[in-house]
Amino acid sequence: MKIGVFDSGLGGLTIVKTMLENLHGADIIYIADTANAPYGEKTQKQIIDFSAKITQYFIDKFHIDALVIACNTATSAAIKELRVKYKNLIIIGTEPGLKPAISHSQSKKVGVLATPATLNGEKYKLLRDELSRQYKVDIFEQACPGLVQQIENGELDTPKTISMLQNWLSSMREAGVDAIVLGCTHYPLVGESIKKVMHNDINLIETSHAITKRVNELCNNSMKCDNENSLKILSTGKISGSMVEMILGKKYEVEHINI
């Protein structure tokens, strides 16, 4: 089973790591579109264009059977168009885990950290409004411009990153938020820093296991359980090899491509 996975940078590797640990017989090809990062500050039209070009590259070069959009922003902006254009391709997106966050919250106060594009997405807004009414929960949203770049640069707990998080999280901490949705696949990489800033036991909700489960459900008949997984990493621009190694736990060569 050939599975294409893409994100604007390193963040989607948090999903790839979970896939490698839990799937069997998958050939995974990962594209980090660092030349166009960060997606969260681009227009919807730009994100759709990036996503369509990457999907076509996967199909032409690797003949993929399934596509995982390992990016909340790209999912929000482009998944509808990609499913219309590529009707025969299994396409799995990434969405903020609002519902599991609500189920974990005792205070009924839930935080959402995401990119501006994700928070402004129509699908997210509809889900947020529906769940907040249904479960009578207060949702505190915070866009985090610049955090993806900090993570891409390996600055996971530097004074600058901690200062940014303190600025964004102080109101959530004071309000008694006890569950935070990590609405960007990069953000689990600063999970420990978020916990430090929140000063308490906070539930951090990310969706890598849910996505891997969905991949397994949709692709299981095509994957051979006795085969090992494989991973090929490609990048359209600069990428930190040491960060790739830190996320995945081993060293991988990264091939530069033009799309």
Catalytically annotated residues: 71, 184
User: Among residues 183, 29, 172, which one has the least CA distance to residue 99?
Assistant: 183
What is the Cα–Cα distance from 152 to 189, expressed in whole angstroms?
10
Q: What angle do CA 170, 203, 94 make, to 5 degrees?
A: 100
What is the Cα–Cα distance from 249 to 91, expressed in whole angstroms?
27
DSSP letters spanning 44-88: HHHHHHHHHHHHHHHHHHH--SEEEE--HHHHHHHHHHHHHH-TT
Identify whether the C-beta of residue 39 lies closer than 8 Å to the C-beta of residue 117.
yes
Token readout for 129 is 């409004």
